[in-house]
Amino acid sequence: MDLESHQFILFFESEQAAELCQRATVENFTNQTILFEEGEKPDFLYLVLTGRVEFRKKLGTNQFQTLATALPNGYFGELGIFDGQPRSAQAIVYGGTTLAKIERLDLMAVINNTKGSVVVKLFNYTIQRLRASTEAYVKQLVYKERMVLMGEMLNTVIHDLNSPLIGIHLSSSVLKEVHSDSETAQWCDLIQAQAQRISAMTEDLLEFAQGNTILHKQPLNLAQNLQRFQQLNGVYLQEAQVELVIQAEDIVVNADENKLMRVWQNLVTNAVESFNGHGGLVEIKVSQKEQQVKIEITDNGPGIPEVIRDRLFESFVTYGKGTGTGLGTAIAKSIIDAHGGQISFESYAQQGTTFYISLPWEAKALIRS
């Protein structure tokens, strides 16, 4: 955007606006750069023309808490200009960002010659921004506390689950040895696979609560992976009267098989639950375009409620589900992000929802032998 059309400049009358633009210096950033550190003396007001700037507090060695983000048409640094106090956070400018900066003495000189009504309008907007930043920070603290509690709970759950899961695994192994027919062997294998999935799911939740997504990547044939997913969920889908249709080419990606299974499980389960016992259709399509693998997961359900669409990938966001935790899509996004991919969706009332997932494709990925 142009400096002249920035909202901070538009607060002022034409003469003062022109003077501010004349005094401003425009700077482009091509790499991630620390603009200033917490505790430094305030020297400039910054206007964001393109890109983004993040503000964060240092928690420990190489650990930071993000407080806020400034986007195009935003500005920051005015509090230090007005009260002269040191910077309260570190500012990081990301590549592809353009900032205009106005030196403190120049800005104060212009403000001193500005009408009181303009100054009041400027201060009112600054107070609104402070309130919004405070509210966002409080939400982050509440979220962090909830995740800590969830992590402590999951540690206990995992410990308590180990014994019965081992028992299930051993019992199914004994059954398989005693009854050697192929049907019994097939069901025993399914029982063992599901027990392993329960263990993996709890570990995934624990990782998510701790803010980590640990990947064990290897060449993975997506068609085979989705067929396995369909097999493991056959009984569940049949009980729910849901048809699952998979159209997948033999595409190999370098990925964590268990983690991707968790993504399919979370998204398909959400679709099944949206049918509310009336049955429906879920389609999964996999294709490749240049260096990207595209996965589409589509259902013909009632659509995602509009009230939560903007926050769907946030933790603890749920609507109308008595047993929902609000973590399914958040975990799915964290897994896709960890793979260097992207996830988005489209949803229409009474028409259904489609999730769009892209994963990087590497030519060196080979089908496992």
Please, are residues 220 and 260 in contact by the beta-carbon 8 Å criterion? yes
Predicted pLDDT at 159: 67
Model confidence over 211-265: pLDDT tens digits? 667 788 999 999 999 999 998 888 889 999 999 999 998 899 999 998 999 999 9
* Homologous superfamily of 218-360: Histidine kinase-like ATPase, C-terminal domain (3.30.565.10)
pTM, to two decimals: 0.55
Predicted pLDDT at 147: 67
Nearest to 76 by CA among 139, 27, 129, 23: 129
Predicted pLDDT at 53: 92
User: Residue 184's pLDDT band (boundaries 50, 70, 90)?
Assistant: confident
Q: Which residues pair with 347 in a beta bridge?
A: 353
- Whether 145 has a pLDDT exceeding 80, the answer reads no
Domain boundaries, the chain: 3-114, 143-209, 218-360
End-to-end Cα spacing for the chain: 53
* Homologous superfamily of 3-114: Jelly Rolls (2.60.120.10)
- 296-313 average pLDDT score: 90
Nearest to 309 by CA among 283, 348, 275, 270: 348
Model confidence over 318-336: pLDDT tens digits? 666 655 566 788 888 989 9
- Whether 365 has a pLDDT exceeding 60, the answer reads no
- Whether 337 has a pLDDT exceeding 60, the answer reads yes
Q: Which residues pair with 50 in a beta bridge?
A: 98
Cα 78 from Cα 72, distance rounded (Å): 16
Q: Report how far apart, in Å, the C-alpha atoms of 170 and of each of 166, 176, 184, 203, 221 are.
A: 6, 10, 15, 21, 30
Nearest to 213 by CA among 30, 65, 338: 338
Predicted pLDDT at 321: 61
Model confidence over 108-128: pLDDT tens digits? 888 888 887 877 877 777 777
Name the more confident of 80 and 253: 253
